[in-house]
Structure 1
Amino acid sequence: MSTQVNEASSPGTTKGTNTDDIDVVDRVGLDMGRLCMNDLYSDVEFLVEEQRLPAHRNILAVRSEYFRAMLYGDMAESKQREIRLNVPVDAFKKILGYIYTGTLPLSKLDVDQILDLLNLVHFFGLQNVEAAIEKNLQQNASLSNICKILNAAHRYSMNGLRKNCLNFMDCKASDVLNHASFEMLSKELLEEVVRRDTFVAPEVEIFRTVCKWNQLNPSADIKTVISHIRLPLMTVSELLHVVRPTGIFELDQILDAIDQVHTRKNLHYRCVKLPGEKLPLKTFTKYVYDHVTKIPKFSLINCITVTVSGGAEFTVFVSNDDEVWDEVGVYALKSNVTKDIHFTERCVRYISIEILKPNQNENYIIKVILKYNV
């Protein structure tokens, strides 16, 4: 999607119904644009990457509090004709263009250019431009740039953008881990991603990626990061042949994790919160009256909507590993009547519906929707 900063809501249009009114705001914008980086009437020059960029103090001061303080305040620059700025010249030219014309075509810039621009926009305090850039980055986030955008959102306290980035990464966790750009994350953000319950990927993948990040950042202390690695979610083989050789965890920690793998108790699963995902179970063959369905991801649910053709009494079971099953309850439904079954939220990977006292002449069809109801 394209995003453009434009301060004139309808340039060139006549406002009101009085035909005596004059509105040439578009012409004024064009005239102002001609003055941008033009020697005509200029009274200050910016030296940026050895380029001389002429400007007009009064225009800059009216349009920017930063330049007002610089050019008319107590700063040394207020008495200088030439002012050197240590900023990227291309981004600074775009800022000048915006100050003079009120427009900034973000749709023509790639993400790297927009991030360079964001640094100056934040520095110069152009809040409306910053808001437009935040919207643009949300619309153009992708696997290849999401870590760059998250770093920027964190740096400039753009909380809405930061939240959207983390949600994006949750949805594509394994892809994000395997992408080279993941190495760009700061330690603080790496820790934030790894500790999220909703960042669902094989735990061994998360561990390997943290190790790779540490190899590229050897001076970083990753103790707080690895404290969020959930060892009991790995297999015994992964613990012994992947984790143990790194020496990152003590042997006692690995043995405790192995014990939890065997007992399957108190496992802190990573799971996504389902808004309402339809998972129809397959038609049951006659004389087979229980069925297990595997959910694509570990999912946090607190409600199951069930419909049974033919009607029946049935038991609902849920599990994380297809070995240890928890009974949710016993229910009865008339044919094709839908029922919401509510229970305490839990992380689930498998669901089983067992028909009780089945009619052997009935070919049951069960449909299930897993939900997280707020």
Structure 2
Amino acid sequence: MQELPTSLCSEGQDSVLNKRKRKSQKMSTQENNSDEIRGIASDINRLCMNELYLDVEVEDQRLPGHRYILAARSEYFRALLYGDMAESKEREIRLEVPVEAFRVILEYIYSDKLPLSTLAVDKIIDVLVLAHLYGLKDVETAISKYLQQNLAVSNVIVILNAARLYDLDQLTAGCLMFMDNNMVDLLKHDSIQMLSKESFEEVLGRESFSAPEVEIFRTLCKWRENNPNEDNQTLFSLVRLPLMTIDDLLHVVRPSGIFKSDIIFDAIDQVNIGKNLPHRVVTLPGENLTSAKPLAQPFVLVVKLQSQVVVSVSVSCDQTHWDSVGNVIVPYRTISPVLITPRTVRYIRITSISCGIENCDLKAMYKE
């Protein structure tokens, strides 16, 4: 093996050492800069609610603030404190806002932090209102995501009202989907009486809000009592009377006096016929739909029996009017799919023609 001259080796080693030294110095400089940035951020954070160097005070509680920082973080405060408004010449400015929510906004302005997990939903809504007023889009987005992740039957109404008011489309969609999936519990909860008329109309117009129609009607009656100054005719026009039983129409709807008798009798005629009813339906691809939940069709019915048998398959929405799908031969221990044409179904009935049915496995899957 040929050896390199000593001088070249030394130069090469020096070159490598110098590169390593320069790299180490560069990394050290970057680390120092990072420390400086963290120090600056920490210093600004310490100014929050601190009277040191303050040059502006907010609200009756005299919350301390700093013009340059407020103006740099919000166009609203930039215009307020450095524009042509009277507040630009005042040491103290008055804002008619919730103090607790404004403290949260101040903390965000000074530190980029939002302690949402420590706040109740109503307080978070207050912060959302201020964020919208002050043009803090990042705060609006963060609050929208947090609320969507923490939806509950007890808070979804107030969140939906706020989402619609401030045009938060993604949060609105999340609230409506949550309501679809929790409709029965929601109709029983007192919070639904806080739902705005516009939001209620949107909810009732959705095909996927497939709650029992008589419960929807009862909830609307209670909502009308709590909101006497609202025009409720458009809301009641969204109630689908033919989806109720005749008993409900005669003993729940008719005594209320909300609908004229001829409208109720027309609904009774539709119930008796049992066809082309205005069902509320939803599609659930990939789920086994053999439950009592109304479905949008078509779907595939899969039958598996322990012995070969001929079965008759019928479907219904009310267990009174049954539509025959047809007869199917199910071979021994094999799966036999049955494609059902588009229709709305709540109940599936399988009856044996050739012999008894034992150990029947049944699945209903939506077919796209």
Which bin holds the TM-score, normalised by the shorter protein? Answer: 0.7 to 0.9
Q: Which amino acid aligns with 1:141?
A: L
Secondary structure of 2:216's partner? Answer: helix
What is the letter of the counterpart of residue 55 of structure 2? D
TM-score (norm 2): 0.85
Equivalent positions of 1:351-370 (< 5 A) are 351-355=348-352, 357=354, 364-370=358-364
Q: How many residues align?
A: 340
Match of 1:31 among 43, 53, 65: 43
Alignment of 1:112 with 2:122, yes or no, is yes
Structure 1, residues 64-86: CA drift from partner, whole Å, max 9, x if none?
Answer: 12222222233332222221101
* 1:296 corresponds to 2:308: no
Do the aligned partners of 1:317 and 1:353 also contact (CA within 8 Å) in 2? yes
Q: Hey, what's the Cα distance between the residues in 1 that align with 2:193 and 2:343?
A: 32
Q: Distance in 2 between matches of 1:148 and 1:303?
A: 37
* Residue aligning to 1:230: 240
- Quick one: which amino acid aligns to residue 103 of structure 1? K
Moved more, 331-340 or 348-357: 331-340
1:156 aligns with 2:153: no
Q: Is it true that 1:19 corresponds to 2:28 in the alignment?
A: yes
* 1:209 matches 2:205: no
Does residue 269 (structure 1) correspond to residue 266 (structure 2)? The answer is no
Task: Tell whether the 8 Å contact from 1:271 to 1:299 is kept in structure 2 after alignment.
Answer: yes
Task: Select which of 295, 302, 320 maps to 1:306.
Answer: 302
Q: 1:135-156, CA deviations, whole angstroms, 9 ceiling, x for partnerless residues?
A: 1111211111111111111111
- In 2, the alpha carbon distance for the partners of 1:140 and 1:317 equals 41
Aligned to 2:366: 372
How far apart, in 2, do the equivalents of 1:67 and 1:43 lie? Answer: 14
Separation in structure 1 between the aligned mates of residue 342 and residue 173 of structure 2, nearest angstrom? 23
Q: Does 1:346 align with 2:358?
A: no
Output one character per residue of 1:279-335: Cα deviation in whole Å (capped at 9) or x when no partner: 67xxxxxxxxxxxxxx32222232124142345554432111223222334555544
Structure 2 partner of 1:86: 96
SS at match of 1:352: strand
Contact 1:300–1:345 (CA<8 Å) still a contact in 2? yes
For residue 103 of structure 1, report the CA deviation from its aligned partner: 0.9
The answer to whether the 8 Å contact 1:60/1:67 transfers is yes
SS at match of 1:369: strand
Contact 2:56 2:66 in 1 (8 A): yes
How far apart are the structure 1 equivalents of 2:281 and 2:120?
A: 34
Whether the 8 Å CA contact 1:279–1:367 is kept in 2: the answer is no
Tell me if 1:322 matches 2:319.
yes
Cα offsets for 1:69-106 (capped at 9, x unmatched) = 22223333222222110100111011011100111121
- Distance of 1:323 and 1:248 partners within structure 2: 28
Higher strand share: 1
- Following superposition, which runs of at least 4 residues in structure 1 exceed 6 angstroms of deviation? none
- Higher Cα radius of gyration: 2
Unaligned 5+ residue runs, structure 2? Answer: 1-24
> 2:72 — aligned with what?
62
CA RMSD in angstroms comes to 2.3
Query: Whose RCO is larger (CA < 8 A, sep 6+)?
Result: 1
- The verdict on how the C-alpha distance between 1:80 and 1:240 changes in structure 2, with shifts beyond 3 A counting, is same
How does the TM-score come out when normalised to structure 1? 0.84
Report the Cα distance in structure 2 between the residues aligned to 1:218 and 1:102, rounded to whole angstroms. 44
For 1:193, which of 197, 200, 203 is the aligned residue?
Answer: 203
Secondary structure of the residue aligned to 2:343 is: strand
Partner of 1:286: none
Give, in whole Å, the separation in 2 of the partners of 1:187 and 1:144: 18
SS at match of 1:40: coil
How far apart are residue 39 of structure 1 and its match?
A: 2.2
Q: Greater CA deviation, 88-97 or 172-181?
A: 172-181
What fraction of aligned residue pairs are identical, expressed as a percent?
A: 50
- Provide the rounded CA distance (Å) in 1 between the counterparts of 2:89 and 2:239: 57
The equivalent residue for 1:143 is: 153
Are the equivalent residues in 2 in contact too, given 1:195–1:229 (CA < 8 A)? no
| 1:124 matched residue in structure 2 | 134
